[in-house]
Amino acid sequence: MSPDRAALQRALERGETQGGSVEFKERLTREVHLEDGRRESLAAQLRHRILSGDGEATYVVGVTDDGGLAGVPPESFSESMDVLSLLAEEAGAHIEDVQTWGVEGDGEGIVGVATLREGSVLATDDEHIVVGTAGHVDHGKSTLVGSLVTGQSDDGEGGIRGYLDVQPHEVERGLSADLSYGVYGFDDDGAVRMDNPDRKSDRARVVEEADRLVSFVDTVGHEPWLRTTIRGLVGQKLDYGLLTVAADDGPTRTTREHLGVLLATELPTLVAVTKTDLVGEERIEGVEREVERLLREVDRTPLPVARHGVDAAVEEIGRTVVPVVRTSAVTGEGLDVLDELFERLPKTAGTDGEFRMYVDRSYDVKGVGAVASGTVMSGEVEAGDELLLGPTADGSFREVEVRSIEMHYHRVDRAKAGRIVGIALKGVAEEDLARGMALLPRDADPTPVREFEAEVMVLNHPTRIGDGYEPVVHLETVSEAAAFYPEDGQLLPGDAGRSRVRFKFRPYLVEEGQKFVFREGRSKGVGTVTDVTPAG
């Protein structure tokens, strides 16, 4: 028996007893178990189980009263979890974790173990900033973030980065190939960090305990994956950028590329000079001077934090001032400075407006169904909300319902702008979800956009941009080939002007004021949407 399935066996062996903390349920339905009288009775029963278990109870769903493995269809299991969540809320508790297993028999059946804990589900009114990392491959982005979120020193071989990398080949090669996420926070006693290699449970603990959260969107430094880096920096609701420059290497072409994307999105940015343990003082000072020259070339003012202090960095950071911090994940140099900065820096991303989220990833979770992952761009979403999802390839939107919401593996009842969440959706299959789709309120009246007008600036291009030029446009989580038609027929490197932009394959939700990056090979530019045209 696998270690995971052993959790089910332990719950069955403990059994359902009068004074115990384990409860067996074959299934729970809204129609039967949420009727007024039954709902109160079941909530009281749940409260009794919680108290019997010193604040924790175990509900086994998909079994008979005597513990036999009956199994229920996936849709029935999802409904059971929804009902159990409502009962837990009424009992002053919340579902902390759910594990599921398949049951052999006629059709597809599921049995699951839900762990419930005393206390309401996490309130997400705490301050929460989101930081996007950038920098050349092997300049220590993931390692630095790994040390920040754990408080542990690196072994000098990048071992601490394993807290972030999620693909086996990434850990084996020591290179990130997709976006990864980390989180830590602060309470009255200081930093709240991860200390357990089991990332799922430990991230949930950090989210639950911290009064202020710092989430990292850790991007990709290797040049072939620049498209993924742009997606991470453009498609997330970021408050700050963190650019790493290794002291043993200095700024590179990729450093300049990533800095350009950060500045194009007008993101307040910090620079961390990493790996200071590998070189001497003279070399560190030389790299700092290179960084300062690079920033001045793009009309930014460097602010060395060691010289001017954290107070000045907090007050001055913005579109023109870039704080610079010396760091080492091995010796711990500068990590206390970054801690203080992230604890004090104000949230910058706006939160007003109706709910909107662009899908970045999708999953098919057994017993839950389709899950759309992304960053809430504006407004607020709650479990049970009815939403619109789209546009699809033909420009249509479909109605879906929010089953549940998770933030860093912690189930929450609602999520506000800036939260990186997974939303379980009812009414859609995972294969029908696509990156670049948007989730909106059901009463919204969205217009699918295939073509739009924009103010663009060409940052780098070998010749000129003319009619029909087709780079990839990165807008929110959209990454799509698009044809450009400049107003004056052409744009040269360094030029700014108007252009019509048309997606090559399908429409998306595009709104005036949105910023985007376009790239093809080493050519790169930025733009702002000024007018939208309905799909046609």
Query: What angle do helix axes 226-234 and 253-264 make, rounded to 10 degrees?
Result: 20
Is-contact 376 237, C-beta < 8 A?
A: yes
The dihedral through the CA atoms of 60, 66, 67, 72 has a sign that is: negative
| Mean pLDDT along residues 194-203 | 62
Residue 31 maps to which CATH number?
A: 3.30.110.20
Is-contact 246 274, C-beta < 8 A?
A: yes
pLDDT band at 180 (very low <50, low <70, confident <90, very high): low
Report the DSSP pairing between strands 398-407 and 410-412.
antiparallel
Chain centre distance of CA 282: 39
Domain contains 510? yes
35 contacts: CB under 8 Å, gap ≥ 6: none
- Least reliable range by pLDDT among 81-90, 318-327, 443-452: 81-90
- Least reliable range by pLDDT among 87-96, 297-306, 492-501: 87-96
* Range among 64-68, 81-85, 438-442, 453-457 with highest mean pLDDT value: 438-442
Query: Do 168 and 303 fall within a single domain?
Result: yes
Query: Do 271 and 146 fall within a single domain?
Result: yes
* Range among 7-16, 251-260, 270-279 with highest mean pLDDT value: 270-279
Query: Do 163 and 280 fall within a single domain?
Result: yes
Query: Do 168 and 313 fall within a single domain?
Result: yes
Is-contact 131 239, C-beta < 8 A?
A: yes
* Backbone torsions φ then ψ of 77, nearest 5 degrees: -65, -40
Instruction: Give the burial class of 222: count Cβ atoms within 10 A of its Cβ; 0-12 exposed, 13-18 middle, 19 or more buried.
Output: middle
Query: What local confidence, expressed as pLDDT, does residue 444 receive?
Result: 95
Is-contact 268 229, C-beta < 8 A?
A: no
Query: Do 338 and 196 fall within a single domain?
Result: yes
Residue type at 59 in one-letter notation: Y
Domain contains 152? yes
Domain contains 366? yes
Query: Do 367 and 473 fall within a single domain?
Result: no
pLDDT band at 262 (very low <50, low <70, confident <90, very high): confident
pTM of the model: 0.59
| Mean pLDDT along residues 162-191 | 56
18 contacts: CB under 8 Å, gap ≥ 6: none
- Model confidence pLDDT, tens digit, residues 450-500: 999 998 888 766 677 889 999 989 898 898 999 999 998 888 877 788 999
Tell me the C-alpha to C-alpha distance, in Å, between residue 500 and each of 202, 468, 489, 530, 532.
Answer: 48, 10, 11, 10, 10
What is the C-alpha to C-alpha distance for residues 61 and 72, in angstroms, rounded to an integer?
8
Domain range for residue 502?
Answer: 449-534
Query: Do 463 and 437 fall within a single domain?
Result: no
- Count CB-CB contacts under 10 A for residue 339: 19
- Model confidence pLDDT, tens digit, residues 335-376: 999 999 999 998 875 566 899 999 988 888 766 788 998 888
Query: What local confidence, expressed as pLDDT, does residue 375 receive?
Result: 83
pLDDT band at 377 (very low <50, low <70, confident <90, very high): confident
Tokens of 440: 């909106």
DSSP per-residue codes, 200-240: HHHHHHHHHH-SEEEEEEE---SGGGHHHHHHHHHSS--SE
Domain contains 247? yes
Residue 315 maps to which CATH number?
A: 3.40.50.300
Domain contains 349? no
pLDDT value at 317 more than 90? yes
Query: What local confidence, expressed as pLDDT, does residue 57 receive?
Result: 92
Compute the radius of gyration of the chain from its Cα atoms.
Answer: 25
Query: No. of H helices and E strands in the chain?
Result: 12, 30
Query: Do 367 and 414 fall within a single domain?
Result: yes
Is-contact 234 517, C-beta < 8 A?
A: yes
Query: Do 381 and 500 fall within a single domain?
Result: no
Query: What local confidence, expressed as pLDDT, does residue 235 receive?
Result: 47
Query: Do 434 and 453 fall within a single domain?
Result: no
Tokens of 530: 């000024």
Final residue in a domain of this structure, among 418, 441, 464: 441
What's the structural domain count of the chain? 4
pLDDT value at 501 more than 50? yes
Domain contains 82? yes
Domain contains 336? yes
Final residue in a domain of this structure, among 291, 319, 344: 344
Query: Do 148 and 272 fall within a single domain?
Result: yes
pLDDT band at 433 (very low <50, low <70, confident <90, very high): very high
Query: Do 434 and 457 fall within a single domain?
Result: no
Residue 439: strand, helix, or coil: strand
Domain contains 338? yes
Between 4 and 58, name the one with better pLDDT. Answer: 58
Is-contact 426 403, C-beta < 8 A?
A: yes
pLDDT band at 4 (very low <50, low <70, confident <90, very high): low
DSSP structure class, residue 72 = B
Instruction: Give the burial class of 299: count Cβ atoms within 10 A of its Cβ; 0-12 exposed, 13-18 middle, 19 or more buried.
Output: exposed
Between 155 and 149, name the one with better pLDDT. Answer: 149
DSSP structure class, residue 137 = T
Q: Which residues pair with 304 in a beta bridge?
A: 324
Residue 400 maps to which CATH number?
A: 2.40.30.10
Final residue in a domain of this structure, among 400, 421, 441: 441
| Mean pLDDT along residues 432-452 | 95
* Backbone torsions φ then ψ of 291, nearest 5 degrees: -65, -45
What is the C-alpha to C-alpha distance for residues 183 and 193, in angstroms, rounded to an integer?
8
